[in-house]
Structure 1
Amino acid sequence: MSQREQAILVVSASTDVIDLIFDLCEQCQEASLRLLVVRNTDEVESVLEHHEISLAIVDCSTFTDVEYLNQLAAHLSPMSTMALLEEGTAEGMVAVLRNGADDVFSLAELHLHPQLFIGSLQRQLQRVRMIEEVRFLRESLERSLDELKADQHAAQQLQEKLLPPPVRELNHIDFEYVLQPSLLLSGDFVDSIAINEYQTIFYLADVSGHGASSALVTVLLKNMTYRLVRNYNRNSSFDIQSPLATLHRVNRELLLTGLGKHLTMFIGLIDERDSSLTYAVGGHHPMPVLAQGGEVAFLEGRGMPIGLFEKPVFDERRIALDPTYSITLFSDGILEVAEGDSLDEKEQVLLAACGGKNLSPQSICDFIIPAGRVNPDDVAIMTVSRV
């Protein structure tokens, strides 16, 4: 920050005192000083309205009530106020110090020991400069935070637009989700896409970390999957019809970004022609819960996280689906808030939450997360069902 001019308010009715103060200020080593002189208290208010004062030097003989000094010092605070007394009695010095003066000198001291006044003046001005620098830095920080908040809200709106509708139907399959970010931006992401009239793909991804960098990866993920759908429609690539191939494509492209981010992901493909679910697992936990035929159980499978290894191993499996079923996907943030002392106990809570009928992600969320519990991590719950 460049050194700005420091304005000193001089309050005195005495021309001799004013001249002396000017002379002493000229001997001060401070480079850029501007003295504003007022000869009575009535003029002080006008000067304060039009100028930013760094320090006040007040000749207390200019007014009769020492309480005025207290009001002026309070108005200028945290800037400094120096008081001048015609007679430097101990009682008078104590009175002005108690009424807000940062330092006090008698007029005799100014003549006898001018260097003491100059030294005090320089210390007060240095203190004022530090206050001004802190104020400048605080205001700069506040502006930066306001800009950051605006950017975060804009990014939040963009991310929300990239998410699918909270409730939708594709190829006679119902998709519904809730997403509760721990910050404005979320590293969790869900999507569902109709590839054609009988194949539907869906996934839940959990990007490492929080905030803007993790949210950026969700934008890339959305772009990658829709690009694969576009390639399918152009007959240039059919990777989107294979959850395993899709995970490998996402892994390869995420490594190419060099962002140093990784994610876990569960991706499923439902084929209505044979009522089957083909799914692949990229390091995701907990596994989705499948409820059908009166049974509720976690799907089986495992795999490496995405974005860490050049040649990861992903597990792909295929199961048959009943005419009615419900698949519930969770991000790992749910394990942070679920009741239970062990992982097994927490998983039992998830199974219990998914055991009812016509359950929505919100009702599952309300069942698992105790009222008033703050989420330390993003939480996403997605249901895929046919009833």
Structure 2
Amino acid sequence: MRILIADDASDQREILGLLLARWGHEVVPASDGLEAWEILNRERVQLVLSDWMMPGLDGLELCRRIRAREAGYYVYIILLTARDDKEDLIAGMHAGADDFLTKPFHFEELRVRLRSAQRVLELETQLEERNRHLVSVNEELRSALDRIQADLVAAAAMQRSLLPQGSPLSQRLALDWLFIPAAVVAGDIFNFFEHDGRYLEFYLLDVAGHGVPSAMLSVSLSRILSLERAAGGAPLAAPHEVVATLNRRFQSDDASLYFTIVYGHFDTLSGIGELCQAGHPHPLLVRRGGAIERVGEGGFPVGMLPDLDYESVRFTLRPGDRLILYSDGVTDCRDAAGEQFELGRLHRVAGDCHDKPLATLTACLAERLQEWRGTGEIEDDISMLVLERR
């Protein structure tokens, strides 16, 4: 070990130095406390043998300065003193001394104290190495988390780009929507597209689970639906046929990999539409006067069981009527007491806003849900798509 000897008595310093060198230690001599302090500030020394009484800077003050500084490693201090009363020992401990040797002392006693100090310092060194390793690991984890977060933000931006970017050009139909993901990326997704300048095809789906796996499947589904159904010249398929095709295509050995969906199309001239409901909450028909009806036949989620039959149901929108599609994140939203928002409250919001613009309806629902859950986190993605015949 490197041992600093701080003693204003040169003979005592030399004797200790020769003895410590004989035991295999490296000795750093200091003629007083001030010189010892200067050495400690420019060199790494972890064990100090210091006389208590020295001119300028005594052993107690040297202890206090060592303990007050931020060296990044531990310095073990043994005070050499002729004092042996209880009050002096307490004062030395308060100043920061680890051990004491009362003059005159036996060399073997010193040797034993040094071995004890060495064990403590070895443990401190091991702890220091572990701390450095932990700091390095934490920095790597932070860097990895930053990259993951950046990827999630980019994925969320890409996912949002797949959502509707504006209403169709038709003067016969108005649309609005609400989208509040529970995480950075979501399992809910929806869209609509025109067909032959007369029909509007639409869907809203909810992939089981949360986070990245659900979001990846929802993005894949969005791309498939948009590319296949928006292809120029493609015939208008019955909603139940589209859903059945998805069910055959997305069978998986993973029982948790499934989704619910409402898929349909609407004739903007006649006001007649068809939709297929597969495990998704029942769409709502809000009549111009405020009456609310349910549409759909339920059905199994997509990807859960093979060779399922799905059904399309017809609906009619007269001018001023609305069709509301929503995910169960709306009705399942919980308040601080764990109570769900439930369908009745959604009915009230839809009924209260039946004669107001669609933007008022979606804004009002978002506000009510925020008030309902308070500061609590969203447990599930919230999405809603609303069509209104003009």
Residues 6-60 of structure 1 show CA distances to partners (whole Å, capped at 9, x for unaligned) of xx9865556855993896679xxxxxxxx9999632354455xxxxx7x833344
Q: 1:58 aligns with which of 43, 48, 55?
A: 48
Measure the CA separation in 2 of the matches of 1:129 and 1:319. Answer: 71
2:158 is paired with a residue whose SS is helix
Measure the CA separation in 1 of the matches of 2:182 and 2:130. Answer: 38
Residue 203 of structure 1: aligned partner = 203
Q: Could you say if the C-alpha distance between residues 341 and 85 of structure 1 is closer, same or farther in structure 2, counting changes exceeding 3 Å? A: closer
Residue 389 of structure 2: aligned partner = 386
Measure the CA separation in 1 of the matches of 2:142 and 2:134. Answer: 12
Q: Give ranges in structure 1 of 5+ residues lacking alignment.
A: 1-7, 27-34, 48-52
Measure the CA separation in 2 of the matches of 1:18 and 1:183. Answer: 69
Structure 1 residue identity aligned to 2:238:
S
1:168 is paired with a residue whose SS is coil
CA contact (8 A) 1:244 1:279 kept: yes
CA contact (8 A) 1:365 1:381 kept: no
Q: TM-score, normalised by structure 2?
A: 0.77
Deviation at 1:261, TM superposition (A): 2.2
Q: Could you say if the C-alpha distance between residues 137 and 19 of structure 1 is closer, same or farther in structure 2, counting changes exceeding 3 Å? A: farther
1:233 is paired with a residue whose SS is coil
Q: Could you say if the C-alpha distance between residues 312 and 57 of structure 1 is closer, same or farther in structure 2, counting changes exceeding 3 Å? A: farther
Q: Does 1:85 align with 2:79?
A: yes
Q: TM-score, normalised by structure 1?
A: 0.78
Measure the CA separation in 1 of the matches of 2:179 and 2:22. Answer: 68
Residue 370 of structure 1: aligned partner = 371
Deviation at 1:77, TM superposition (A): 7.5
1:40 is paired with a residue whose SS is helix
Deviation at 1:245, TM superposition (A): 2.0
Deviation at 1:280, TM superposition (A): 0.5
Deviation at 1:133, TM superposition (A): 2.9
Q: Could you say if the C-alpha distance between residues 131 and 369 of structure 1 is closer, same or farther in structure 2, counting changes exceeding 3 Å? A: closer
Structure 2 residue identity aligned to 1:331:
S
Residue 5 of structure 1: aligned partner = none
Structure 2 residue identity aligned to 1:194:
E
Q: Could you say if the C-alpha distance between residues 315 and 82 of structure 1 is closer, same or farther in structure 2, counting changes exceeding 3 Å? A: farther
Deviation at 1:354, TM superposition (A): 0.9
Residue 190 of structure 2: aligned partner = 190
Deviation at 1:314, TM superposition (A): 2.8
Q: Could you say if the C-alpha distance between residues 19 and 258 of structure 1 is closer, same or farther in structure 2, counting changes exceeding 3 Å? A: farther
Measure the CA separation in 2 of the matches of 1:72 and 1:259. Answer: 64
CA contact (8 A) 1:243 1:280 kept: yes
Which segment drifts farther, 328-337 or 291-300? 291-300
Task: Give the count of matched residue pairs.
Answer: 358
Q: Could you say if the C-alpha distance between residues 82 and 325 of structure 1 is closer, same or farther in structure 2, counting changes exceeding 3 Å? A: same
Deviation at 1:188, TM superposition (A): 1.4
1:314 is paired with a residue whose SS is coil
Query: Kindly, what percent of the aligned residue pairs are identical?
Result: 20
CA contact (8 A) 2:284 2:294 kept: yes
2:218 is paired with a residue whose SS is helix
Residues 142-163 of structure 1 show CA distances to partners (whole Å, capped at 9, x for unaligned) of 2222222212212122112222
CA contact (8 A) 1:175 1:192 kept: no
Residue 266 of structure 1: aligned partner = 262
Structure 2 residue identity aligned to 1:104:
D
Q: Does 1:225 align with 2:225?
A: yes
CA contact (8 A) 1:194 1:201 kept: yes
Measure the CA separation in 2 of the matches of 1:195 and 1:149. Answer: 38
Deviation at 1:75, TM superposition (A): 4.1
1:184 is paired with a residue whose SS is coil
Q: Does 1:325 align with 2:325?
A: no
CA contact (8 A) 2:276 2:296 kept: no
Which segment drifts farther, 38-47 or 362-371? 38-47
